[in-house]
Amino acid sequence: MNRSKEAPDDRSKQADPGADFLQLDTADAPPGGLTGWLARRLREAIADGRLPTGSRLPATRGLAAELGVSRGVVTDAYRRLAEEGQIAGRGRGGTVVVAVPAPPAPPLSAAPPLSAASPLSATSPAPPRARPEPVLFHADPDPEVFDLLRGTPARIDLTPGVPDLAAFPRTAWLRAERAVLDGLAAADLGYGDVRGTPALRRAVAHWLARNRGIRADPDEVLIVAGTAQALALLGRALGRMGVTEVAVEDPGSLGARQHLAHWLAATPPVPVDAEGVRVDALRATGAPAVLLTPAHQYPTGVVLGGERRRELLRWAGEGGLVIEDDYDAEHRYDRPPVPALRAALPEQVCYAGSISKLLAPALRTGWLLVPPRLREAVLEAKRFADLGNPVLPQLVLARLMESGELDRHLRLLRHRHRRRRDAMIAAVHAHLPGATVHGAAAGLHLMLTLPPGGRCTDTELATAALAEGVKVQPLSWHARLPYPPGLVLGYAAGAPGEIAEGIAVLGRLLRR
Quickly list DSSP for 175-216: HHHHHHHHT--GGGGS---TT--HHHHHHHHHHHHHHT----
Residue ranges, CATH 3.40.640.10, the chain: 170-403
CATH number corresponding to 18-97: 1.10.10.10
- For residues 59 and 428, give the distance between their C-alpha atoms in angstroms, rounded to a whole number: 55
- In 3-state terms, what secondary structure has residue 460? helix
- For residues 469 and 154, give the distance between their C-alpha atoms in angstroms, rounded to a whole number: 5
Contact 160, 493 (CB under 8 A): no
CA atoms within 13 A on the CB side of 174: 4
CATH number corresponding to 145-162+408-511: 3.90.1150.10
Contact 484, 450 (CB under 8 A): yes
- For residues 440 and 442, give the distance between their C-alpha atoms in angstroms, rounded to a whole number: 6
- For residues 41 and 35, give the distance between their C-alpha atoms in angstroms, rounded to a whole number: 10
The pLDDT assigned to 21 comes to: 87
Largest alpha-carbon pair distance within the chain? 91
∠ CA 155-464-416 to the nearest 5 degrees?
40
Contact 10, 34 (CB under 8 A): yes
Is 3.40.640.10 the CATH classification of the domain at 170-403? yes
Residue 65: CB atoms within 10 Å? 17
Q: Can you state the angle between helices 60-67 and 71-83, rounded to 10 degrees?
A: 130
Residue ranges, CATH 1.10.10.10, the chain: 18-97
Q: CA dist 201 to 222, 339, 482, 494, Å? A: 7, 21, 42, 33
Residue ranges, CATH 3.90.1150.10, the chain: 145-162+408-511
Tens digit of pLDDT per residue, the chain (512 long)?
444 444 444 444 444 556 788 889 898 889 888 999 999 999 999 998 889 988 899 999 999 998 989 999 999 999 999 988 899 988 877 899 988 765 544 443 333 333 333 333 333 444 444 434 446 787 678 888 889 898 899 999 999 989 999 999 999 999 999 999 999 999 999 999 999 999 999 999 999 999 999 999 999 999 999 999 999 999 999 999 999 999 999 999 999 999 999 999 899 999 999 999 999 999 999 999 999 999 999 999 999 999 999 999 999 999 999 999 998 888 888 888 888 999 999 999 999 999 999 999 999 999 999 999 999 999 999 999 999 999 999 999 999 999 999 999 999 999 999 999 999 999 999 999 999 999 999 999 999 999 887 788 999 999 999 999 999 999 999 999 999 999 999 999 999 999 999 999 999 999 88
- For residues 174 and 153, give the distance between their C-alpha atoms in angstroms, rounded to a whole number: 30
